[in-house]
Structure 1
């Protein structure tokens, strides 16, 4: 019997802290909002941080959600292969957000109840080749393709890697510096797995990249980085195990189908139940159904 793995609980990612929790998060988020919308929202604008725990990334808090300017803005970060199921995951997420934001009785009113407009963004800084910007659609997952879907949700994936960053990155200084920070972390990890995080943080401070933030929270940042990369390893292992199980299941189903086809041919040639059972291993009930 396989021993159950201990359940880990991870804290915020650096991304979620920088744009959602830190004392500088409000100004960082507004800078990002203005870059995305071409607006000049002031720092003293009304901003409500809303958050659901353990939804998008299970035990890892890697998302940021704000209610601002009559919109619900949901941000997430990807440091590995972009998950094509993100629209469905965001659908789950936003439904629960609306449950938190709206009075439960509102949906029973006769008059139309207005709700904040949702927007979904994923910032990609993985190592695989990926376009500067890509739109993922919920309707791409539908089994039947319709000319016009009655349910749609779009997610905008924005590449923030320095070598292929979307122009949005350079319109938002905190996001640009965060992009350079992640790139520095990757570089040092490849050279020194043991002290890579520490060296990356120090280099960024020396290079004036997120300097004030890192000087103030260097130890917390390194702990978050350890959790992030530990979590990424867990996800990679789980994905490999899932793919292996899927392959094994597929092979098993294929073998069973071969047995059924063999039994069908033998039955059409008037072989006895005993002979069919001996050759295919199928039960009498399974053979009878053919």
Structure 2
């Protein structure tokens, strides 16, 4: 199973995975939307695809884990009933710059490293680009597939078949998005459209100014305008697909005010 391969643990019978699960806390607190949310009888898993590494990513995992706990513990239940929780980030860039394929974090005593808090919360970051450094063959093959889209094991070949099937089936298109292919297509589509519009506008502006180097200046203006327009088109496509403002901001760099004006 996908999660078992990532975590090296045996996962029991899971509930049907929730894609883009939303957790909305009380009052004015910030809500979250989880990419993939899975649970079995003893554990809950949040699996996120991360294409950039913002400086506050560790605090984001902390917040996600806290809201998952709130979501899972009903009023009147004992703390003992809290499930073990995993927040997992599959990163296309190295999140900590140390070249490791996997970074696993759990609470340990600062004064005595042999004492673990055992609060049953784990945060795991996968650096898919370092797949060749992973000793476990199946996990290495999985990270390689996520990085290169190259299936080198029976398991990843099976995943690849499911992805191709999902791309042809509207009902399961969210699985295609899970593997980050859809997001790449979205960014590329917005970039190409934005560059085309920006280039055309820049050329027109250069001609109107009557400069002898209008075409060259127009191209320069177009490239600059195209970069911004690409971000706008990408943001517009993401907004149409109900992505949260914070995620659109992270990917495009546009301000929330700019996004709301689209």
TM-score range, shorter chain: 0.3 to 0.5
Asked which structure has the greater CA Rg, the reply is 1
TM-score, normalised via structure 2 length:
0.46
TM-score, normalised via structure 1 length:
0.43
Q: Which has the higher contact order (CA 8 A, sep 6+)?
A: 1
